[in-house]
Structure 1
Amino acid sequence: MYLHPPKIPRNQRRRQVERAPGGRGRVRNWIGGAVAALAAGALSVTGLAGTAQAADINVAKNAGFESGLANWTCSAGSGATVGSPVHGGAAALRGTPAGQDNAKCTQAVAVQPNSAYTLSAWVQGGYTYLGAEGTGTTDVSTWTPDSSGWKQLTTSFRTGASTRSVTVYTTGWYGQAPYYVDDVSVFGPDGGGGSDPAPQVPATPTGLAVGSVTSSSVTLNWGGVSGATGYNVYQGGTKVQSASGTSTTVTGLAANTSYPFQVSATNAAGESAKSATVTGKTAASGGGGNPAVPKHALTGYWQNFNNGATVQKLRDVQSQYDIIAVSFAEATSTPGQLTFHLDPAVGYGSVADFKADVAAKKSAGKSVILSVGGETGSVSVNSDASATAFADSAYSLMQEYGFSGIDIDLENGLNSTYMTKALRQLSTKAGAGLVLTMAPQTIDMQSTSGEYFKTALAVKDILTVVNMQYYNSGSMLGCDGKVYSQGSVDFLTALACIQLQGGLAPSQVGLGVPASTRGAGSGYVSPTIVNNALDCLARGTNCGSFKPSTTYPGIRGAMTWSTNWDATAGNAWSGAVGPHVHGLP
């Protein structure tokens, strides 16, 4: 998050390949030749499959991983079944490359000699390969680079004159992110092993529970059912929507009203009985079901990835944090539109578990918001259409996951005109309970003529806090026109003074600093310096050479990157700064 050159620690954040010399581009170069050869081999045999005959079946067993890893063998314990993401049913395969292991998962399938087969699978995630070996003719494979959504890989092969068994496999690539596979098919003549049995009507879902609520929506979560390909949601006995996963948000409800819900499981064989009924009550109008942000608040960014800091689930985030910014939302191919995906490295077994953690934090009085951007994140909001796409998608994610609001951390520029329109539209949708924060770099807040500063002032009436990043910036001008070097009380107070004199309310100003020396390339200061700067601004005490002309007892507090780096350093930052923030006048 938030790194300005040299940006060293954050270049390591998403995938192992990004930490290697040369980055992803180099990996593409040195595997490119081999992959091209494999792809060429796969393409050369696609015409051999012919037309499927009536007797053709899918000879793969446990093709949807509904029975765990039965019939599959994965190298070095690299394979596991997960409940999310899934393409069909309630389970999928996750392969996790590590070290010199590429997470190869195989199955030997019974085939007929001299026969054509079509091999396919749905895949998602980092660098995924699908292939067949031991065909007796030409072994084949196909692949795809990482993808955020499900994508079907397909290739074909012909068996040799005496071939009775072929090994099909999936694999990732060394040092890459985990990959996911579902609904494998090896379609051709029955080799004597048969196919998976026809689907049975699924069992009744259990564990139906209410997650986050707003004044017009209720989020529901439930346990996955083996063999299910979808779920129906009932409100008062009437079907109101369908879902492919184990969570959904029912919208269009009246405020402060109780509703009974049930859910059933479906597949090609039919629909299960309805689950036990749960009651969800919407929030009172205007509040959005979000807890209030305290007068003095501590903000921490939670990493939805593993970059060497302590890996946390949301439930592990230290109790001192009042606002937890989930990092990060991602851009789609539609300008302005946002999406969010849990990184498997965080360790959640399902999206429902994550949503339950969001709801639990909110029940404890914490605001869990979704951060947009980061060091390399870029969301283009520069037209009316993209502003609407931003607002619609942000609100949809808030409803789906229970987020209390949005954090704007666009370090690669923003358009104040259209970002203001986007945030205004979002505020109209979310209501008075919206938590809106920003995390500009120091350079972005040097003048009220800057696009970031203009945006903050334009949405001042709905803005919660601006936590400027006082790191990775070098020396900057203070409000007195003097130059101050980062790492001192003067740097924090003199730059905060620019925002305070420029039109932001004291409650909209926070001090953003790294939680440890490893959290940023430069600019770390001890918790004592942070506390002294807060005292200087709020009380006029513990100042350095710069002392504001007035005090700002309503100063909101402080922010850090990140809760994970804080945990890595033994919670020293939140343990010292948190109580001090909460003790301000």
Structure 2
Amino acid sequence: MDRRSTLSGRVTGRARRTWAGALAAVLAASALTLTGLATDAAAADVNNAKNAGFESGLANWTCSANSGATVSSPVHGGSAALKATPAGQDNAKCSQTVAVKPSSTYTVSAWVQGGYAYLGASGTGTTDVSTWTPDSASWKQLSTTFTTGASTTSVTLYTHGWYGTAAYYADDISVFGPDGGGGGDPTPTIPAAPATPAVGTTTSSSVSLSWNTVSGATGYNVYRDGTKVLAVSGTSATVTGLAADTSYSFQVTATNAAGESPKSAAVTGRTATGGGGGGVVPKHAVTGYWQNFNNGATVQRLSQVQSQYDIIAVAFADATATPGTVTFNLDSAGLGGYTVDQFKADVAAKKAAGKKVIISVGGETGTVRVNDAASATNFANSVYSVMQTYGFDGVDIDLENGLNATYMTQALRSLSSKVGSSLIITMAPQTIDMQSTSNEYFKTALNIKDILTVVNMQYYNSGTMLGCDGKVYGQGSVDFLTALACIQLEGGLAPSQVGLGLPASSRAAGSGYVSPTIVNNALDCLTKGTNCGTFKPSRTYPDLRGAMTWSTNWDATAGNVWSNGVGAHVHALP
């Protein structure tokens, strides 16, 4: 019924005035009552969950089987969110105890994304509640309500996924209702500005930065030449997409729910010369191959690899019956019972220590063939799958039985599009493969120069070869190393993409072993113009990447003489 029809009858004179006054009094009284109720509700109803947006990491939350972590992307609000990853026997349950009032009604809500996600409350003293959603590509809100029992003073708030399914994300979780007296997160104030950031590793397209922790900050913004380019949750970041041999000004601010701090003082970072991609590795790096088999060298677990090695290439991936497709099978029996879980944990530990761990494809007997579009796609997809499974940072191409530059280029660019700028790509051609830019290996390296990390040519098992001066040089001398490196350096690769690959001991290769002193002299000759042999390059290459050895196992067998000698020398280069 239309409310106006009840007021349309005849009301005249004093009666009209009396009725109108009574109505006004009733409405005024009602307004006072409603205003009071609204004030009481606003004072009473709060979000009783602590660290509801995960801006303080996992504080106040407990996640089963270490399944939870905070991430800076994707987030629903603020600068952090929960990422929880189920396993075959674990549903990635994250929970906290929330203080509530007895005999009160609460609304539980959360924003979720990703795999199957559940939200609920238990221990309510009445009927426990939960709600869920299947996979969601974008943020979706879950919500449910519960009423506490007459003596209930706390409930368990939780989220979880489903066994063996994809990770789920959760953010901005709320238990909204009367204040349970458990204390809420303190109202934040705008944090102070960070101290001047420090410049770390630089490449031709990136600059890494680090700065001090700011009290009360939940995130940080990075500015390049006055423009915001990154928002991160930690105290370090790498700014990518930069031009080579260029100086940039960087500043950092601290953020939280209250706002953003003033900018830090500016610091200047300059990118390296030349091309190249491949994540963040030291300006001068040491690469070592780790053997996934026992051939008489010291059997190692990945955790036992010398700390001098910056890039560890796991040798090798295995070819499958499908052209271009590779897989990785840990030789647990040959490595003394080393389990896959232990191996994965060791990969993660090496990465946490700042090392790069990559999967090597090929080897002396490797038969991986990438010679058409289909096998190129298979290669990219399978390498990416292996990387995802084991946590590898990239791939090493060590195909000693030839490759097709057109389709290997296609495969590696496809892999790069999946992984992004963090991808490490290394190559280990034989000396014959890098004698001319018309060779397939050399062409491949030049084709992917913008995403290539380093070519560590094998200066062993090769006999005599031509140097860049047209003269013939034999293994075992400084000249052999410098004159052949010169071909790559003058043939189009950036100095940061060239490394010297040598055996770790005389037992590691059929021929070509030289002492660490010879390797170091060659490094000095190429980078500084000192300690050269009869061949002296026309210029120096101070950005030369470093050296590689086969293998960390043979190095250990010889008492780590190679890594202690060459490794320390590489890291001391200017």
Shorter-chain TM-score range = 0.5 to 0.7
- Conserved in 1, the CA contact under 8 Å of 2:67 and 2:85? yes
Q: How big is each residue's C-alpha offset from its partner over 1:298-332, in whole Å with a ceiling of 9 and x where there is no partner?
A: 00000011111111111100000000000001111
- Conserved in 2, the CA contact under 8 Å of 1:313 and 1:347? no
> Given the alignment, which residue of 474, 482, 487 partners 2:463?
474
- Conserved in 2, the CA contact under 8 Å of 1:233 and 1:240? no
Does residue 530 (structure 1) correspond to residue 501 (structure 2)? The answer is no
> Given the alignment, which residue of 383, 387, 393 partners 2:382?
393
Q: How big is each residue's C-alpha offset from its partner over 1:522-580, in whole Å with a ceiling of 9 and x where there is no partner?
A: 00000000000000000000000000000000000000000000000000000000111
The equivalent of 2:438 in structure 1 is 449
The equivalent of 2:449 in structure 1 is 460
Cα distance in 2 for residues equivalent to 1:494 and 1:570: 30
Residue 443 of structure 1 and its aligned partner are, at CA, apart by 0.4
> Once the two structures are aligned, what percentage of the paired residues are identical?
68
The equivalent of 1:329 in structure 2 is 317
Counterpart residue identity of residue 365, structure 2? T
Matches within 5 A, 1:417-566: 417-566=406-555
Q: How big is each residue's C-alpha offset from its partner over 1:245-293, in whole Å with a ceiling of 9 and x where there is no partner?
A: xxxxxx99899xxx97666599xxxxxxxxxx999x9999998xx9720
Cα distance in 2 for residues equivalent to 1:475 and 1:378: 26
Q: How big is each residue's C-alpha offset from its partner over 1:139-173, in whole Å with a ceiling of 9 and x where there is no partner?
A: xxxxxxxxxxxxxxxxxxxxxxxxxxxxxxxxxxx
Q: How big is each residue's C-alpha offset from its partner over 1:420-448, in whole Å with a ceiling of 9 and x where there is no partner?
A: 00000000010000000000000000000
TM-score, normalised by the number of residues in structure 2: 0.56
- Conserved in 2, the CA contact under 8 Å of 1:438 and 1:465? yes
Name the CA shift for 1:476/1:307 in 2 (closer, same or farther; >3 Å).
Answer: same
Does residue 569 (structure 1) correspond to residue 558 (structure 2)? The answer is yes
TM-score, normalised by the number of residues in structure 1: 0.55
Counterpart residue identity of residue 378, structure 2? A
Name the CA shift for 1:231/1:541 in 2 (closer, same or farther; >3 Å).
Answer: same
Counterpart residue identity of residue 290, structure 2? W
Residue 295 of structure 1 and its aligned partner are, at CA, apart by 0.4
Name the CA shift for 1:252/1:311 in 2 (closer, same or farther; >3 Å).
Answer: farther
The equivalent of 1:377 in structure 2 is 366
Secondary structure (helix, strand or coil) at the match of 2:387 reads: helix
The equivalent of 1:357 in structure 2 is 346
- Conserved in 1, the CA contact under 8 Å of 2:85 and 2:92? no
Give structure 1 stretches of 5+ with no counterpart: 1-204, 223-229, 242-250, 267-276
Secondary structure (helix, strand or coil) at the match of 1:436 reads: strand
Residue 471 of structure 1 and its aligned partner are, at CA, apart by 0.2
Does residue 307 (structure 1) correspond to residue 295 (structure 2)? The answer is yes
- Conserved in 1, the CA contact under 8 Å of 2:297 and 2:553? yes
Larger Rg: 2
The equivalent of 1:119 in structure 2 is none
Q: How big is each residue's C-alpha offset from its partner over 1:375-434, in whole Å with a ceiling of 9 and x where there is no partner?
A: 001111111111111111111111111100000000001000000000000000100000
Instruction: Answer 1 or 2: higher relative contact order, Cα 8 Å, separation at least 6.
Output: 1
Counterpart residue identity of residue 434, structure 2? M
Secondary structure (helix, strand or coil) at the match of 2:316 reads: strand
Secondary structure (helix, strand or coil) at the match of 2:507 reads: helix
- Conserved in 2, the CA contact under 8 Å of 1:208 and 1:221? no
Cα distance in 1 for residues equivalent to 2:388 and 2:282: 23
- Conserved in 2, the CA contact under 8 Å of 1:213 and 1:402? no
Q: How big is each residue's C-alpha offset from its partner over 1:435-463, in whole Å with a ceiling of 9 and x where there is no partner?
A: 00000000000000000000000000000
Cα distance in 1 for residues equivalent to 2:70 and 2:400: 30
Cα distance in 1 for residues equivalent to 2:364 and 2:549: 15
Matches within 5 A, 1:191-230: 207-209=65-67
- Conserved in 2, the CA contact under 8 Å of 1:215 and 1:254? no
Matches within 5 A, 1:157-306: 207-209=65-67, 231=89, 233=91, 240=115, 264=163, 292-306=280-294
Cα distance in 2 for residues equivalent to 1:378 and 1:282: 44
- How large is the Cα RMSD of the aligned pairs? 3.6
Residue 350 of structure 1 and its aligned partner are, at CA, apart by 2.9
Secondary structure (helix, strand or coil) at the match of 1:544 reads: coil
Give structure 2 stretches of 5+ with no counterpart: 1-62, 75-81, 95-111, 117-134, 140-157, 172-231, 241-277
Counterpart residue identity of residue 358, structure 1? V
- Conserved in 1, the CA contact under 8 Å of 2:398 and 2:427? yes
- Conserved in 2, the CA contact under 8 Å of 1:215 and 1:285? no
The equivalent of 1:84 in structure 2 is none
Counterpart residue identity of residue 460, structure 1? K
Name the CA shift for 1:211/1:411 in 2 (closer, same or farther; >3 Å).
Answer: farther
Cα distance in 2 for residues equivalent to 1:480 and 1:333: 44
Cα distance in 2 for residues equivalent to 1:463 and 1:252: 35
- Conserved in 1, the CA contact under 8 Å of 2:64 and 2:93? no
Name the CA shift for 1:316/1:468 in 2 (closer, same or farther; >3 Å).
Answer: same
Name the CA shift for 1:420/1:366 in 2 (closer, same or farther; >3 Å).
Answer: same
Cα distance in 2 for residues equivalent to 1:546 and 1:468: 19
Name the CA shift for 1:560/1:285 in 2 (closer, same or farther; >3 Å).
Answer: closer
Secondary structure (helix, strand or coil) at the match of 2:499 reads: strand
